[in-house]
Structures are given as C-alpha cells and as structure tokens.
C-alpha cells in the first residue's frame, strides 16, 4: 500500500509541476493563445480550469502525504540497525585506562620423567 501511495504522490507532483508551468504569472499562460471569444473554453474558462486544477492537485498532494505517513513500514529489523547506532554502542570510553592482558604466571618446567627400569 505504501508503494501505491508513493507512486500516486509522484504522479501528483509531476502533474502539479506541469500545471504550474503552463500558467503565466501575469494571467496569460495557456489562456493567451485563445484569441477568439467564441471558443469552447474561452480565456476566462481556461484560467479557471488551471486554477482549480492547481488547488485540486495541491490538496491531493497534502492528502496523500498525510495518508502515506500512516502506511510507512515500521517493521524493526534487528540485523539491519543503523551503523551509527552500532558504533555508539561499541565505542570505547576515551577516559578509560588501557587494560593490557596480564602476563602469564611463570611456572617452573615440569621435571622430566625418569625411567627406573634399568
């Protein structure tokens, strides 16, 4: 489900970018290409459509973003933790004195076994 919402978010973003790029900041844009007033979609209708499409896509983007948060996979994988978290847990205290292995106690060599069968 999370993948579906992510794909829908991506499509919404692309459409929103295209709609915004079609608009002109001074009210021209796509509507300025229509010069006859008897067109099916006149100048005013085109700007109304672009504005409604912009608001609709912005609302869809907001809605899908909020819904997407609910579907984020939160399965904790024990073996796949953060590398930084592992480094923090295994860090050596810099104030700790180094501990060297204690020398092995000197033991006297075992006496050689003598053969008393002579």
Q: What is the pLDDT of residues 23-56, one digit of tens each?
A: 876 655 555 555 554 455 555 667 788 888 999 9
The reply to whether the predicted model has a pTM over 0.85 is no
Is the alpha carbon torsion for 46, 51, 53, 54 positive or negative? positive
Tens digit of pLDDT for each residue in 71-115? 887 775 555 567 788 788 877 777 777 667 766 666 766 666 666
């Amino acid at each position: 489900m999370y993948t579906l919402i992510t794909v829908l978010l991506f499509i919404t973003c692309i459409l929103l970018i295209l709609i915004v790029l079609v608009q002109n900041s001074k009210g021209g844009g796509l509507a300025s290409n229509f010069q006859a007033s008897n067109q099916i979609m006149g100048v005013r209708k085109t700007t109304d459509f672009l504005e409604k499409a912009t608001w609709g896509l912005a609302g869809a983007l907001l809605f899908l973003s909020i819904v997407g948060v609910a579907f984020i996979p939160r399965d904790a994988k024990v073996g796949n933790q953060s590398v930084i978290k592992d480094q923090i847990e295994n860090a050596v205290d810099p104030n700790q004195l180094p501990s060297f292995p204690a020398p092995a106690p000197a033991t006297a060599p075992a006496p050689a076994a003598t053969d008393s069968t002579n």
